[in-house]
């Protein structure tokens, strides 16, 4: 991917290249890993920073029919793009959003007794308009009915009257580490809660697996899996080979090259001191474009960019608009103003950038800045 990306640079800023065919291929990989379940897609946060509309259209064309977003606003935006899709709002309804959810035929996730009561009194009478997902917390202690609320619900199941629970769900906390005992504990708790719920309302579809949960095996798949980050190329399991295709590349250009000598410093805070005569290239991208500021300031995890396949380390702190690289060890002819630099691409992944910044790949791609010039390859970008 990215063979002709240089043609669309404006001469100073950075370009994000998104491979939509890779997104579709990753969806197919996840679907094949969970053959007994429907494969949905979590595309919250602007499709994890890649762009809601092109990603949604590409996944829909690849066969995805069920989409998860975080907020009602995201759900409304997606409804304009995919009029017939099932769209689930993970954060659930608020008093202010009930009418918006109903009007747009979104499915709220009911995470608390308060949300259950709110949705029950929303005006639905058991028909499709009152359909919802029900979320039990099994260990995240984030969203979902905790143990006390679950017991209160089972003690008074009339609270579910006039609500059509289409799916019961929970969320795995440690699925990216397959040998973590919490995975089995959450699985057992979820099975027990589903069985109790079915004793009240009858058979109900179930969903537990996120991206890493898909790779825990069929016991975790149930009826519906809901991958997110793996769709966009991030590694689903810590320490294992990444089976997903990379979907993003970032390219920027060298703006200036200067020679520096021993004991001089580079960047804010004078935090990086030169230890030998060096050449420093300044590149037109920074944390306003989503490149983590911490990537240039952590010790022991130096991030590298690539120039014509040559590995060059960051040197100095990442600033809002600029990155500085030590290009002392590559041919001078390759380190000149206008030269293209690979910040992410075949040699540098979002996961490796995240490791250098002390964060996770999810945060890296979700924070791609609006200033990045975006180019889409393949897939479906418009009607």
Would you please indicate which residues are annotated as catalytic (active-site) residues?
44, 268
CA 306 – CA 344 distance, rounded (Å):
9
Alpha helices (runs of H) in 14-71, residue ranges in sequence order: 20-33, 44-48, 52-61
CA distance linking residue 88 with residue 109, whole number of Å: 7
136 DSSP 8-state letter? B
Helix (H) or strand (E) holding 13: none
Long-range contacts of 349-354 (CB under 8 A, 24+ apart): 349/233, 349/242, 349/246, 350/233, 350/234, 350/246, 350/248, 351/234, 351/235, 351/242, 352/303, 353/291, 353/292, 353/295, 353/303, 354/292
Tokens of 128: 């499709």
CA distances from 79 to 46, 52, 110, 192, 302 (A): 13, 11, 20, 34, 42
Report the distance separating Cα 252 and Cα 379, nearest Å. 24
Closest to 159 (Cα-Cα) out of 193, 134, 140: 134
Burial of 220 from C-beta contacts in 10 A (0-12 / 13-18 / 19+): buried
Taking a C-beta distance cutoff of 8 angstroms, is the pair 67, 43 a contact?
yes
86-89/205-207 β-pairing: unpaired
């Amino acid at each position: 991917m990215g063979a002709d990306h240089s043609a669309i640079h404006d001469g100073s800023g950075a370009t994000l290249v998104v491979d939509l065919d890779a997104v579709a291929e990753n969806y197919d990989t996840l679907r094949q890993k969970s053959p007994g379940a429907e494969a949905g897609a979590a595309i919250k946060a602007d499709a994890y920073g890649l762009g809601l509309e092109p990603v949604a259209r590409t996944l829909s064309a690849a066969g995805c029919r069920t989409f998860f977003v975080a907020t009602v606003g995201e759900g409304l935006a997606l409804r304009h793009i995919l009029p017939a899709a099932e769209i689930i709002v993970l954060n659930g309804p608020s008093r202010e959003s009930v009418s918006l959810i109903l009007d747009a035929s979104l499915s709220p996730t009911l995470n608390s007794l308060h949300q259950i009561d709110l949705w029950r009194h929303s005006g639905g009478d058991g028909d499709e308009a009152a359909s919802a997902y029900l979320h039990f917390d099994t260990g995240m202690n984030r969203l979902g009915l905790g143990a006390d609320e679950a017991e209160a619900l089972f003690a008074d199941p009339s609270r579910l009257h006039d609500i059509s629970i289409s799916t019961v769900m929970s969320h795995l906390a440690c699925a990216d580490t397959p040998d973590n005992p919490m995975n089995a504990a959450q699985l057992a708790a979820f099975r027990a809660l589903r069985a109790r719920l079915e004793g009240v309302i009858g058979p109900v579809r179930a969903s537990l697996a996120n991206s890493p949960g898909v790779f825990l095996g069929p016991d975790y798949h149930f009826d519906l899996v809901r991958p997110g980050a793996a769709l966009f190329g991030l590694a689903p399991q810590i320490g294992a080979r990444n089976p997903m295709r990379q979907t993003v590349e970032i390219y920027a250009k060298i703006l200036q090259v200067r020679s520096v000598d021993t004991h001089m410093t580079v960047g804010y805070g004078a935090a990086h001191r030169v230890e030998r005569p060096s050449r420093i290239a300044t590149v037109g991208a920074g944390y306003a474009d989503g490149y983590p500021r911490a990537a240039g300031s952590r010790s022991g995890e130096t991030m590298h960019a690539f120039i014509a396949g040559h590995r060059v380390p960051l040197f100095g702190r990442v600033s809002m608009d600029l990155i500085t690289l030590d290009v002392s060890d590559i041919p001078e002819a390759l380190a000149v103003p206008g030269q293209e630099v690979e910040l992410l691409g075949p040699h540098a992944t979002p996961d490796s950038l995240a490791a250098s910044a002390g964060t996770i790949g999810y945060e890296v791609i979700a924070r791609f800045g609006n200033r990045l010039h975006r180019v889409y390859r393949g897939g479906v970008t418009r009607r």
